[in-house]
Amino acid sequence: MATAKRDYYEVLGLSRTATVDEVKKAFRQKARQFHPDVNKEPEAEAQFKEISEAYEVLIDEDKRSAYDRFGHAAVSGNGAGGQGFDPFQGFGSFSDIFETFFTAAASGGGATGTRPRRAQRGAHLAYRLTIEFEEAIFGAEKEIEVPRLAVCPKCEGSGAEPGTETTVCPNCSGRGEVRRTQQSIFGQFVSVVPCERCHGEGKIVATPCTECKGEGRVKETRKLAVKIPAGVDDGAQIRLTGEGEAGPRGAPAGDLYIELNVKASKLFKREGNDLLYELNVNMAQAALGAEIQVPTVDGATTPVKVAAGTQSGKIVRVKGAGVPFLRGTGRGDMLTKVSVQIPTSLTEEQKRLLRELGQTFGDNTPEVPEKGLFGKLKDALGG
Ligand SMILES: [Zn+2]
Ligand SMILES: [Zn+2]
């Protein structure tokens, strides 16, 4: 079900530097062309959804910058388990788009739709996947098992027992909506509401499928392969379009959001694309300088030079030994932080050598400033 998604800029025919006004203008033009209320071509609805989705991301500063950096994988809609963007839900008809949506831009979409809700899509699912520290850095392919509602194999989602047919809803003549005329003190007004008999689907299952009882979907546990891109961080989300729950009676499926939980490493701490490694050296190494083999996240070692006279806290950078950049090429660095260890237990021999060494450093007593006025006053008063 997961198909390759087109680039959002390409969908709206925009350059990557397009301004907010250009994004709005491009969407308005495309919406006029493809809104299913004016365009009766069968692909129009899918195209309209595609441009609406592109618009939703590019008009939002945060989502756009996330998309620019990480691509579709990182634009997580409204978050795991949340209600995904459905262009038909908040503002339904063609005129709603231009009246409600553009005048009250970013108001969150006042639901004034006169169009009945279309057949309800399947729910989005969230899955928390724990991976090793190294898998987040170098990428991995994981297999997960997701319990979900899937298209019923017996009726292929129609909800009708094979061999029988669905019938056109007699209540709404297959339109899925009914007009209701009401009287008010302002006169007569007509509202359009979803048909109660067929729940807006326009058709009725006369002989329900015995497998799914007419729902068109059944429970299953599905094995899925998930590709983890190299360089992801803890909390990153991967969206698998159409891998959520199947919709009832053939309605579109929801999406599956995989939230990554990255295990900590014993050796490294991650700071964006850099890795922090704490290198313990002894007093002699810090004072005289040393070259030390340090472990890298690749499972190898690399020599790190500690210069003579290095103080605790000094950072030695190992270029390119960090985390790969999610987009583009190259890697961050490994930051080796030197920590000078003061011995806590010494042999008699070490003590003797250190005492001897200490004497060569001379008297290190801090200078005491002359007594100030307060001190003199205290002396005069006798304590
Ligand atoms: Zn069935
Ligand atoms: Zn009906």
User: pLDDT tens for residues 161-182?
Assistant: 999 988 899 999 988 888 888 7
Given 3-state DSSP classes, what are the helix, strand and coil percentages for the chain, each rounded to the nearest 5?
25, 25, 45
Distance CA 3, CA 253 (A): 13
Cα(201) to ligand 2 centroid in Å equals 7
Cα 249 from chain centre:
30
The answer, yes or no, to whether residue 186 has pLDDT greater than 60, is: yes
Token representation of residue 70: 């990480």
* CA-atom Rg of the chain in angstroms: 33
Q: What percent of the chain clears pLDDT 70, i.e. is strictly above it?
A: 87
Per-residue model confidence (pLDDT) at position 223: 95
Cα(226) to ligand 1 centroid in Å equals 28
Cα(202) to ligand 2 centroid in Å equals 5
Cα(46) to ligand 1 centroid in Å equals 25
Q: Which ligand is nearest to the CA of 249?
A: 1
Contact 278, 295 (CB under 8 A): no
Cα(85) to ligand 1 centroid in Å equals 28
Listed range (106-110, 317-321, 369-373) with the worst mean pLDDT: 106-110
What protein residues have CB closer than 5 angstroms to ion ligand 1? 152, 154-155, 209, 211-212
Q: Which ligand is nearest to the CA of 246?
A: 1
Cα(164) to ligand 1 centroid in Å equals 12
Cα(251) to ligand 1 centroid in Å equals 13
Cα(120) to ligand 1 centroid in Å equals 17
Q: Which residue has the tokens 């262009």?
A: 87
Distance CA 182, CA 188 (A): 6
Instruction: Show contacts of 29-35: CB within 8 Å, 24+ apart.
Output: 31/97, 35/94, 35/97
Per-residue model confidence (pLDDT) at position 371: 72
Q: Which ligand is nearest to the CA of 153?
A: 1
Query: With a threshold of 0.85, does the pTM exceed it?
Result: no
Cα(8) to ligand 2 centroid in Å equals 36
Q: Which residue has the tokens 């200078």?
A: 367
Cα(154) to ligand 1 centroid in Å equals 5
Cα(151) to ligand 1 centroid in Å equals 8
Cα(337) to ligand 2 centroid in Å equals 70
The answer, yes or no, to whether residue 71 has pLDDT greater than 90, is: no
pLDDT band at 99 (very low <50, low <70, confident <90, very high): very low
Cα(226) to ligand 2 centroid in Å equals 40
Write down the mean pLDDT value for the chain. Answer: 83
* In the chain, beta strands by DSSP E: 125-131, 140-151, 166-168, 177-184, 187-194, 203-205, 217-228, 237-240, 256-262, 268-271, 274-282, 290-295, 301-306, 315-318, 334-341
Cα(155) to ligand 1 centroid in Å equals 4
What protein residues have CB closer than 5 angstroms to ion ligand 2? 169, 171-172, 195, 197-198
Cα(171) to ligand 1 centroid in Å equals 24
Four-CA torsion 338, 340, 341, 347, nearest 10 degrees: 130
Listed range (210-214, 313-317, 348-352, 367-371) with the worst mean pLDDT: 367-371
The answer, yes or no, to whether residue 312 has pLDDT greater than 60, is: yes
